[in-house]
Amino acid sequence: MSYIERIGVTSYRFADLKTLMAKASPLRSGDQLAGVAAASEEERVAAKIALSNVPLRTFLNEALVPYESDEVTRLIVDEHACEAFSPVAHLTVGEFRNWILSDTTTTKDLERVTDGLTPEMVAAVSKLMRNQDLIVAARKRPVVTRFRNTIGLPARMSVRLQPNHPTDDVKGIAASMLDGLMYGCGDAVIGINPASDSLSAITALLVMIDDFRERFQVPTQSCVLTHVTNTISAIEKGAPVDLVFQSIAGTQQANSSFGISLALLAEANEAALSLKRGTVGQNVMYFETGQGSALSANAHFGVDQQTCEARAYAVARRFAPLLVNTVVGFIGPEYLYDGKQITRAGLEDHFCGKLLGVPMGCDICYTNHAEADQDDMDNLLTLLSVAGTNFVIGVPGADDVMLNYQSTSFHDALYVRSVLGLRRAPEFEAWLEAMNVIDEQGALLSSTGRQPLLESAQGWGGVR
């Protein structure tokens, strides 16, 4: 089915829904690279107007990626809940936007329709929204998950402590990890990107983190962000695995380029669940995504990169993860050119994930060859924190010395907590207070107050 919209004396024709969605997307370099972006702002406006008049039901009948050849499409279609969809089934995309933003639409209303929404529906409505719309709508839709603590509660924000090291040196990782804990970070996860994928190196890191967690009874979870098959092997060999990590994308072919399938993710999920290591919940998966991943694998099928990204959240939703992280500026300026595009993408991803019931966090980041700087990261950190992001990343000095990109720091988390009054996960916050790291209001104590934990950690992990 084609779509036509007239602006002035010019008529714009969009061959199908996939084309219409792409042309309605805000400008980004990835869609230009793929050849699917609008040729002008006027064409983009025409596409938005046409898209606003598309009934939501259309997305159930017109697959952007063929059902027969794509297991992600099959997952989206086969698990669609008609009853949950019924409250909004009569709406167009534009009317759906108004319904979401209405003061009379509550959190419970948004929760009720979650299983009736497809990624394509939420991607479509996001294209009609300003940044402030994405913020206010996402803020209305908290998603709470649990393992050893509770993440995603309103007025709280967690931090992934990311103590990476270019050679996986245990002493260096331990020092960065202790540094982060002293700043009150680590309630989302203590998560290491290993330089090596050898099973022995991965196991050594898992054992090191678990030793510290057990020694000091820290109510958090650990993860070594290696390929899912490595984590399955580690589980089989008895390693102390809390969360299973995997990068995911929005098409079967893109996921195949990562060496994964839905069946493999299901196997990993079951393996982690069998360990029963959670204390307050059993959300055991940790997924990372990012706009441009399908395009970089030449597996986007002409679908715009933001819609492909939203489809990845259907994969995530299937496995009830503890954390989902859009690594928003990591792939590079070929996909998100500058700070403006990175900011918009981060807000889109967070909104789409939350509306689909996914516990969204964000690695607010950029590569050194992007037209972006740390001021852009400050802006996006502030906007996402207002929007209710579940977690952000904490890297020493905001500079990841192993992955060689710029993110957010332990100090940045302190800034946004101070400005917005955001607390940590309640169980983790209580532990920090008991260890004299923070006071009862959540503020850091002086270095003197934190000294007992530092002294008791002497010698652990080789730290001096």
Mean pLDDT, all residues of the chain: 96
Dihedral sign from CA coordinates of 308, 299, 230, 275: positive
Looking at the chain, the whole-number percentage of residues with pLDDT higher than 90 is 95
Residue 442 inside a domain? The answer is: no
Q: What is the pLDDT of residue 450?
A: 65
Q: How many domains does the chain have?
A: 2
User: For the segment 157-179, what is each residue's pLDDT rounded down to a tens digit?
Assistant: 999 999 999 999 999 999 999 99
161 annotated as a binding-site residue: yes
Q: What is the pLDDT of residue 464?
A: 54
What is this structure's pTM?
Answer: 0.96
240 annotated as a binding-site residue: no
CB 318 within 8 A of CB 262: yes
282 annotated as a binding-site residue: no
402 annotated as a binding-site residue: yes
Q: Do 64 and 162 lie in a common domain?
A: no
Residue 443 inside a domain? The answer is: no
363 annotated as a binding-site residue: yes
Name the token pair of 20. Answer: 């219409």
Residue 463 inside a domain? The answer is: no
Q: What is the pLDDT of residue 460?
A: 62
Looking at the chain, the whole-number percentage of residues with pLDDT higher than 70 is 97
The domain containing residue 103 runs over which residues?
A: 3-140
With residue 393 as reference, give the H or E element that holds it. strand 391-394
Q: Do 202 and 320 lie in a common domain?
A: yes
Q: Do 189 and 319 lie in a common domain?
A: yes
Q: Do 204 and 346 lie in a common domain?
A: yes
Q: What is the pLDDT of residue 446?
A: 81
Q: What is the pLDDT of residue 448?
A: 64
160 annotated as a binding-site residue: yes
Q: Mean pLDDT across the stretch 86-92?
A: 98
157 annotated as a binding-site residue: no
197 annotated as a binding-site residue: no
- Indicate which CATH number applies to the domain containing 46: 1.10.220.70
16 annotated as a binding-site residue: no
Domain boundary among 90, 105, 140: 140
**Cα(228)–Cα(99) distance, rounded to whole angstroms?**
39
Q: Do 358 and 403 lie in a common domain?
A: yes
Q: Mean pLDDT across the stretch 8-23?
A: 96
Q: Do 212 and 343 lie in a common domain?
A: yes
- Indicate which CATH number applies to the domain containing 341: 3.20.20.70
CB 50 within 8 A of CB 15: no
Q: Do 336 and 387 lie in a common domain?
A: yes
User: For the segment 195-242, what is each residue's pLDDT rounded down to a tens digit?
Assistant: 999 999 999 999 999 999 999 999 999 999 999 999 999 999 999 999
pLDDT at 31 over 70: yes
162 annotated as a binding-site residue: yes
Residue 447 inside a domain? The answer is: no
Q: Do 128 and 180 lie in a common domain?
A: no
Phi, psi of 111 (to 5 degrees): -65, -40
Domain boundary among 140, 171, 205: 140
Q: Which residues on adjacent β-strands are paired with residue 379?
A: none
User: For the segment 367-391, what is each residue's pLDDT rounded down to a tens digit?
Assistant: 999 999 999 999 999 999 999 999 9
